[in-house]
Structure formats: C-alpha cells, structure tokens
Structure 1
Amino acid sequence: MLLAFDYGTKKIGVASGNALLGSASPLPALPCKNVQPDWDKVTALIEEWQPEVLVVGLPLNMDGSESELCQRARKFARRLQGRFGKPVWMVDERLSTREARERTGIHHADPKVDSMAAVVIAEGYLGGSEPLAP
C-alpha cells in the first residue's frame, strides 16, 4: 500500500496505490492554506490508510531542469519523511496533469484532475519509474 501525492501550492492531489495489483485510485484532494499543506488532514489520511511508502511527484520542466515548484515538492517530501518516518520517494511527474485531464475529460482547474495526476504518479512508481530521493 502506498499513498501518492501531486503537490501543488493550492491543493495536493492524492491517490492510494496497491503494489500487488499494480493499480491506483484517486482520493479527495487536500487543500493548502498560504501554500502550506493542512498537516492535520495529511496525518488523518496516513493514519487511515497506513501506507508502507509515500510517493511525491517531482514537477520537472520538460528539459529535465528543476523549477521553484520542484523545490517546494522536495520540501514537502522531506517533511512527510520527517513527520511520519516512512520511506518517501519522488518520481518524475512530467505530463501527469495532461494525462489526468485526458483520463477525466476535465480541462480546467479541478481537484479531481489533481488526484488523477496522483494516480498517474502512483502508477509510474508501481510500473518501475526510477524513484528519486527527496
């Protein structure tokens, strides 16, 4: 069991993943306040799902370089690791939002797209994408 996160400054998409089945399902997105995650909601989610591993998408630019959002996502990943003591990995999430929009048919800002992007991130991890340290 894993939880995957599509980190954003306004909301964080979330998905649960099952390594045995190699699949993932979207969960409700988590709100952010002043670009900060609602840690009480993150804690409740982790207590409810009891994941063995946490996966955070790394929003690299198309040329592979890192943006400011990458640094924020890395900070979020390190905080997850520090707060919950679980293994945390990052995976390249380039084009995950595009794929999430195709899967959902939603082409505007919507929390369902963020959580579907987390599904794409989880599936990438489960499918053998190179995991990166936070």
Structure 2
Amino acid sequence: MNRDEIAAFAEASAAGRRLIGLDLGTRTIGIALSDVGRQIASPLETIRRVKFTPDAQRLAALCTRHDIGGLVIGLPLNMDGSEGPRAQSSRSFARNLKPILPLPVLFFDERLSTAAVTRTLLEADTSRARRGELVDKLAAAYILQSCLDVMGGLGGIGRSHDEDDD
C-alpha cells in the first residue's frame, strides 16, 4: 500500500459515506466503522465465520445499514513485507465479495494490529474471555484508524467537507 493507492481509494469511495474496516480471521471477521467525516474508527462487531455466502450477506447488510462507501481490508503481510497464504486468503475473500458488494476496496497493512490491541487489553487487565470477545473488532478499528490517519495526511482526500460549506 502506497500513498497513491490510498489516495485513489479515497477518491473512489464516495465522500460523505462511512468506511468499514475488516480484520479477516479464519474463524471470525472483526468489523469497524468510520464516522461520516472519516476521522474516527469505532469497533462495530465480530462475525463468527460460517461459510462465505452467509458471511458476505451479513457484510452486505451492514454496508447497506451504515451507508458504506468503501471497504478497508486488513492485509496480513509477513514481517518482511511479503505476502503469504493469509494475505492471499484476504485477497481471495475480497475478489469473491466484489459481485455481492461492489464497493471500492483498499488492502491495508495489518502487521502487529492484533498484537497492539492485545497488549492494550492486557494493560487494561481485561480477562482472557473478554479479550477473545473484543480483539477482532478492536483490531479492525486499529486497521481502519491507521488508514484514516494516512488519508487525513493526504489533505483530507475522500473526507466529508460539510463543515467547509459555510
């Protein structure tokens, strides 16, 4: 992911519409939601994965309900930046999702997102069971917030400019 890819995604995703962030795991999908101004990411929910079609239908329903303009999907790169089987699985999920949910997609480096969230939960003395409930949607929020921060550094491309309309 380079700045040009992020800028192109920001332009392609309709301004004034929220973004959704996904942390794709083998058993769960963590989901986060941006505000309309694309400044703040908040954890939304965790989907327990069943099969692709019902998972995709659930995502499509959330995208419709929250008026989503684009998807930010965590890309689990290896520490050396190369793509392994998990990254390929994320790309495959997005490819299969495109006919069901034709929105702009940005893959965003998610290295260490789960570790950062887990460390924060441990520092907050969160129980193991509670960490299990929270980690995926918080990782999705971490990924989405990182993306929003980069987008904001690009001069607000793709953000809602309602406050500037005075």
Residue pair 1:101, 1:107 contacting (<8 A) in 2 also: no
Q: Kindly tell me: are residues 90 and 107 of structure 1, through their superposed partners in 2, closer, same or farther at Cα, counting changes over 3 Å?
A: farther
The one of 44, 68, 75 aligned to 2:61: 44
Match of residue 123, structure 1, among 129, 133, 145:
145
In the superposition, relative to structure 1, how do residues 39 and 113 fare at CA in structure 2: closer, same or farther (>3 Å)? same
Give the whole-Å Cα distance in 2 for the aligned partners of 1:87 and 1:41: 18
TM-score for both structures, normalised by structure 2: 0.70
Distance 2:57 2:145 in 1: 26
- 1:21-40 matches, cutoff 5 A: 22-33=39-50, 36=52, 38-40=55-57
- Which amino acid in structure 1 is aligned with residue 75 of structure 2? L
Whole-Å Cα distance in 2 between the matches of residues 61 and 102 of structure 1? 20
Please point out which of 94, 101, 120 is paired with 1:77.
94
Aligned residue pairs total 128
Distance 1:75 1:111, change over 3 A: farther
Q: Which residue of 2 aligns with 1:86?
A: 103
Say if 2:56 and 2:100, in contact at 8 Å, map to a contact too.
no
Change (3 A) 1:50 1:79: farther
For structure 1, the residue ranges without an aligned partner over 5 or more in a row are: 130-134
Query: Please, which of 106, 117, 120 is the counterpart of residue 103 of structure 1?
Result: 120
Give the alignment's TM-score, normalised by structure 1.
0.85
The structure with the larger Rg is 2
CA contact (8 A) 1:7 1:57 kept: yes
The SS at the match of 2:146 is helix
Distance 2:31 2:68 in 1: 12
1:36-82 alpha-carbon deviations (Å, 9 max, x no partner): 36222112211211111111000001111111111110111223333
**Identity within the alignment, %:** 37
- Unaligned 5+ residue runs, structure 2? 1-17, 152-166
- 1:81, 1:26 → 2: CA distance? 23
SS of residue matched to 1:52: strand
Distance 1:107 1:66 in 2: 33
Structure with the largest fraction of helix: 2
